[in-house]
Amino acid sequence: MSQLTFATGPSNQGQAGTGLYPETRIVAAIDFGTTHSGFAMAHVDDRRVTDYRDWPSQIVQYPKNLTCIRYDSNDEVSSWGYNARYAENGFCLERFKLYLDPNISNMPPLPPRGVVCVISDYLRVLHQFFLEYMERRYGRMYNNTNVMWILTVPAMWNERAKQLMSDSAVQAGIISAQDANDRLRFRIVLEPEAAAMTCCEYSNLNALRVNDTFIVVDAGGGTVDLAAYCIAKNPSTGLESLRELCNGNGASCGSTFVDESFLAFLERKCGSTAVQRFRETLPRIWHSNILRPWEQIKREFRGSVSFSAGHLVESIAVPPGLKRLMTATDVQRLESESDGEIQMTLNDLKAMFDPVIQQVIQLINTQIIQCNNNIPGINIDKIFLIGGFGQSSYLYEAIKNSFQNIALLRPADCGGAIMAGAVLLGLNH
């Protein structure tokens, strides 16, 4: 368990007293996620945290790009992020962060490069994109040596996984393996700790006071991480701090596992061979005609509330390219069952969501029990729901209904909460 100390107001002293490396002028954080990744930054003189939301080929503004990378026939990176998903040559890799999860053992084999090489390739292009953005923003006033880097990792990872992420950062060129001083401007931070800092900033509008207790639920694409904290105050210094109430917990039960259930459903409707070939040969149409409407359905799904007033099914039209790859039997069955559309009933969607949602509810229950084991009789005042999956209305309602005596709060910017909190931790280093 840990304790994080932070200042309660803005600083006008720049880096004085922060413990930053002397040359540091920018604090930047990378949230390397299973499905999406991005960065946030702040100048040490004004401490205002900003992120980036205008990624190439992005459909809707979001503070992260896709964690997706594409290689050409020479095993060189040809594109990354949204651009990689839309391209049609070479081979594309996604969700490779899960290869570092010690609790997942059924992942398909990666190409010969290995997980550290793939992650470092992605971090390299993301890092280069950041440097170009920093130059556009500040001119050539600063370079990489003026940046303190924060890299966030799940609390559930073991030391080996954390070390592999650190190795990937070195291999990506974010810091140098030869220069010992570079280690002074690089930190690994646990995602729940970063999230807690964001919640404290957000709570200025939501009355989080000294002695209040809260649980952070960071529901991302691959993992859901939890941590419980109490706001403490040092009577001699007046500084507030976050005191961890018990060890955090987490599991691989993020939104990508809902996506897997949808994919299995789609393959049952259209045939697994047809769906796989369609994804491989027409990735742009796969994304625009299948994934994009699915993301909309997934985000807006609220259980039975979504199926009121005669609205009985959610539908996705079958693209002609997919229909051409389907067997005649599958086409005929789809036409007779659902007028040739991919139709999902309330029960279909609940079957995709509920196994994952129940894992999240169980994680929260476990965290509350652990808090009571450590401090008998303690009550949790609030739950903060953040992360990309935290935007799900169905997940929000499920948590709200399961813990009716605990206030549930969700910051407006769920997706950028980890990055922003990591920068705040760096500024208070």
Q: Where are the domains of the chain?
A: 3-193+418-427, 207-254+353-410, 255-349
pLDDT tens across 301-352, in order?
998 887 765 567 899 999 999 999 999 999 999 998 888 899 999 999 999 9
**pLDDT tens-digit readout, 238-273:** 667 788 999 988 888 999 999 999 999 999 999 999
Any idea how long the chain is? Answer: 429
Angle between helices 255-270 and 292-300 (to 10 degrees): 120
Q: Tell me the pLDDT band of 158, cut-offs 50, 70 and 90.
A: confident
Give the pLDDT confidence of 179-211 residue by residue, as tens digits: 777 778 899 998 888 988 888 876 654 567 888
CATH fold of 207-254+353-410:
Nucleotidyltransferase; domain 5 (3.30.420)
Is the per-residue pLDDT at 385 higher than 60?
yes
Q: Which pLDDT belongs to residue 10?
A: 37
3 state SS of 169: helix
| Rounded Cα distance, 298 and 227, in Å | 26
CATH 1.10.10.10 is right for the domain spanning 3-193+418-427: no
Which whole number is the average pLDDT over 102-114?
75
Give residue 260's pLDDT.
Answer: 95
pLDDT, tens digit, for every residue of 396-408?
Answer: 999 999 999 999 9
Q: What is the pTM of this model?
A: 0.83
Burial class (CB in 10 A: 0-12, 13-18, 19+), 361: middle
Alpha helices in 173-244 (DSSP H): 191-202
Q: The tokens of 68 are what?
A: 């997706």
Q: In what order do the strands lie in the sheet with 68-71?
A: 77-80, 68-71, 91-94
Which is more confidently placed, 246 or 18?
246
What is the helix (H) or strand (E) element at residue 322, kind and residue range? helix 320-325
Cα(106)–Cα(361) distance, integer angstroms: 24
Cβ atoms of 422 and 189 within 8 Å: the answer is yes
Going by the DSSP 8-state scheme, the letter that residue 189 receives in this structure is E
Residue 15 has pLDDT above 50, yes or no: no
Q: Contact 97/126 with Cβ under 8 angstroms?
A: no
Using DSSP's 3-state secondary structure scheme, residue 395 falls into: helix
Domains 3-193+418-427 and 207-254+353-410 share a fold: yes
| pLDDT score at 5 | 46
